[in-house]
């Protein structure tokens, strides 16, 4: 009975999270979806300081649990409460709900900070936005996408087979930078020809979180898990910016 539940639950969480992530990218880009990051204005009784505080709290409701749930020590404790096959699916469910809440309750601050009118510059910025999509999707598929999104865990549970251990490997986008998904996220939050106060505020919060989570949380976990193999990879491949490294 649990195996069937886990399989259905995992599939639904995968679909929900995929849909919310697609909406999120359109929410940032300002197209297709009915409500974007710049939709509306703050209420007359809401001051700028209150709007900034509310938006910061909405981001915190996503990033704080998102970071805690991903730590190996927490997962070791957490899987003593919930079954291990659906641990990743629960993580995706939180991701989807927290992002949906943030986008629904976001206090828009559409006052323009800059607007790029030159056609070539606009093309370059939209190209950066598209490149961000590519790095996010390419990074997800450069590793085991099904395990990343929780489907592999519930599928193996349904089949009654143990989940195989994944060896450390470097493929595709991970040979360019160590964190292509994070790089893609930075590109999609900043590459836009019309940057409002609210958009820039969100981009700054997202950048601070990405840099902190990447270098202070994720990398120590990876080095602890893979040891010298990851340490050598870290020396060989840049972290977020695909800049050439001098030969030693």
Distance between CA atoms of residues 106 and 64, nearest Å: 17
Taking only the tens place, the pLDDT of each residue in 101-159 is: 999 999 999 999 999 999 999 999 999 999 999 999 999 999 999 999 999 999 999 99
Nearest-10 crossing angle of helices 87-105, 2-29: 30
Distance between CA atoms of residues 233 and 229, nearest Å: 6
Q: What is the predicted pLDDT for the residue at 1?
A: 87
Taking only the tens place, the pLDDT of each residue in 3-42 is: 999 999 999 999 999 999 999 999 999 999 999 999 877 6
Question: Looking at the predicted structure, is the pLDDT value of residue 76 above 60?
Answer: yes
| Entry field: residues in the chain | 248
CA-wise closest residue to 135 among 165, 180, 81, 200: 180
Q: What is the predicted pLDDT for the residue at 246?
A: 63
């Amino acid at each position: 009975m649990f195996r069937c539940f886990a399989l259905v639950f995992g599939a639904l969480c995968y679909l929900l999270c995929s849909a919310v992530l697609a909406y999120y990218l359109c929410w940032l880009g300002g197209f297709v979806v009915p409500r974007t990051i710049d939709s509306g204005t703050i209420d007359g009784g809401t001051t700028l300081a209150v709007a900034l505080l509310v938006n910061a709290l909405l981001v915190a409701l996503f990033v704080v649990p998102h970071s805690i749930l991903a730590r190996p020590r927490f997962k070791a404790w957490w899987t003593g409460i919930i079954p291990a096959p659906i641990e990743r699916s629960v993580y995706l469910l939180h991701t989807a709900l927290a992002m949906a809440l943030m986008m629904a309750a976001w206090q828009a601050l559409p006052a323009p900070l800059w607007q790029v009118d030159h056609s070539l510059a606009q093309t370059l910025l939209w190209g950066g936005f598209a490149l961000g999509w590519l790095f996010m999707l390419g990074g997800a598929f450069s590793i085991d996408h099904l395990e990343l999104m929780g489907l592999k865990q519930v599928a193996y549970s349904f089949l009654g087979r143990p989940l195989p251990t994944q060896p450390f490997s470097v493929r595709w986008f991970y040979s360019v930078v160590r964190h292509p998904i994070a790089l893609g996220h930075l590109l999609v939050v900043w590459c836009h020809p019309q940057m409002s106060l609210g958009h820039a505020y969100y981009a700054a919060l997202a950048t601070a979180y990405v840099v902190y989570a990447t270098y202070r949380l994720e990398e120590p976990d990876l080095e602890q898990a893979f040891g010298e193999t990851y340490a050598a990879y870290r020396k060989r491949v840049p972290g977020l910016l695909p800049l050439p490294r001098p030969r030693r």
